[in-house]
């Protein structure tokens, strides 16, 4: 099973992926959390661009995301799925669809560029207004170039525009983590039992 956790920075997806992992492991199910961008050769370049250490065009960033993801699918995602593990993706191509669409790239083109990647069973988008997200991330040391409120609000809108995708579930992330997880577990369980 491949579960994709998405949302703007500060939305709580990393916390929820830890909760999910714990719950699956309590049920003796082997689970792995994978993040994108990775720490591979393309991922490292992406991190430099996203943190403003290296200049890049939107196109260059998109190309690197695709190359990073191809490597990730080959080296980590597919092998884990083949072994029957549950893969929790903390950001995946839906993230690219939201962030790069907010930067002006057509979302259908991004979707097409990522057709090689295994489709998630469910995409959980943790929705949070940008001003609240900003308050949460201010406590974190890395304020990358995307963490500007106006831009985050655009990204949030791009995520919400994905609501008609049959895999997507939008989750209100203004609540406390435990309440959110109750909904997450219910949604994941529904998909597993289909």
Please write the tens of the pLDDT for every residue from 77-88.
Answer: 999 999 999 999
pLDDT tens for the chain, 194 residues long, are: 999 999 998 899 999 999 999 999 999 999 999 999 999 999 999 999 888 888 999 999 999 999 999 999 999 999 999 999 999 999 999 999 999 999 999 999 999 999 999 999 999 999 999 888 877 777 654 555 455 778 889 999 999 999 999 999 999 999 999 999 999 999 999 999 88
Is residue 94 packed enough to be buried (19+ CB in 10 Å), middle (13-18) or exposed (0-12)? buried
User: Given the DSSP bridges, would you call strands 168-172 and 122-127 parallel, antiparallel or unpaired?
Assistant: parallel
Measured CA to CA in angstroms, residue 151 lies from 8, 15, 83 at distances of 10, 23, 39
Residue corresponding to tokens 């939201």: 98
pLDDT in the model for residue 145: 46
**What is the arrangement of strands in the sheet containing 86-90, beginning at the earlier edge strand?**
31-35, 86-90, 2-6, 122-127, 168-172
Q: Enter the DSSP assignment of 74.
A: I
pLDDT in the model for residue 140: 54
SS3 57: coil
Q: The domain 2-192: what is its CATH number? A: 3.40.50.300
pLDDT in the model for residue 22: 97
pLDDT in the model for residue 139: 60
Domain ranges of the chain: 2-192
């Amino acid at each position: 099973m491949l579960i994709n956790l998405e949302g703007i920075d500060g939305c709580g997806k990393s916390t929820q992926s830890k909760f999910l992992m714990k719950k699956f492991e309590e049920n003796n199910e082997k689970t792995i959390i994978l993040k994108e961008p990775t720490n591979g050769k393309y991922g490292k370049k992406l991190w430099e661009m996203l943190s403003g250490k290296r200049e890049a065009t939107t196109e260059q960033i998109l190309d690197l995301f695709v190359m990073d993801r191809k490597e990730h699918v080959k080296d980590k995602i597919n092998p884990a799925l083949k072994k029957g593990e549950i893969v929790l993706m903390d950001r995946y191509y839906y993230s690219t669809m939201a962030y790069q669409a907010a930067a002006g790239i057509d979302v259908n083109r991004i979707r097409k560029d990522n057709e090689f990647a295994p489709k998630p069973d469910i995409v959980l988008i943790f929705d949070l207004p940008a001003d609240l997200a900003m308050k949460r991330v201010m406590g974190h040391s890395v304020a990358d170039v995307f963490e500007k409120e106006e831009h985050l609000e655009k990204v949030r809108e791009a995520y919400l525009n994905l609501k008609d995708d049959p895999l997507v579930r939008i989750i209100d992330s203004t609540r406390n983590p435990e309440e959110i997880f109750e909904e997450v577990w219910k949604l994941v369980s529904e998909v597993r039992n289909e």
